Amino acid sequence: MYCTQCGSPRPDGATACPSCGHPVQQFAAYAAPAAPGSVPNYLVQSILVTLCCCLPAGIVAIVYAAQVNSKLNAGDIAGAEEASRNAKLWSWIGFGVGILVIVIWAVAGGLAGISDAAK
């Protein structure tokens, strides 16, 4: 690395140029892309809920899941965590409604069977 002010070499990690004293600007703390897997995206769960539980809630979950990694890439960790929570929430809503429909379906089928048997 070379000093942006006087052009003399300076050691990595130095906070000021040893030759002219020009301070080294630190930009690393701003919007560095975060590790891709550090916030779970729930993409697989969202696809499974959309395809298996037959509910548009899965689509909402997919859109939030997609936002997680875009935001992580932009260094917006708080935004990614928010999107991750929403993706998880909507996956569970879709899953819950799917299970509920199956239970209602089974109970209705059972009652129909009982009434058929009673005739």
Partner 1 sequence: MTPQSDPRRLLAVLGALCVGAAGVFVLYRFEPVTAGFYPQCLFHALTGLDCPGCGTARALHALLHGRLAAAFRFNPMLLLYAPVLLFGTADAARAFVTRTPLRNATTRPWLGWSVAVTIVGWWVVRNTPLWPH
One of 102, 107, 111, 112 touching partner 1 (CB under 8 A): 102
Residue 105 binds to partner 1 (criterion: CB under 8 A): yes
Residue 117 binds to partner 1 (criterion: CB under 8 A): no
Residue 29 binds to partner 1 (criterion: CB under 8 A): no
For every residue of the chain, which 3-state class applies, written as one string? CECCCCCCECCCCCCECCCCCCECCCCCCCCCCCCCCCCCCCHHHHHHHHHHCCCCHHHHHHHHHHHHHHHHHCCCHHHHHHHHHHHHHHHHHHHHHHHHHHHHHHHHHHHHHHHHHHC
How far apart are CB 90 and partner 1 at their closest, in Å? 13
**Would you tell me which residues interact with partner 1 (CB under 8 A)?**
35-38, 40-41, 43-48, 50-56, 58-59, 62-63, 65-70, 72-73, 97, 101-102, 105-106, 109
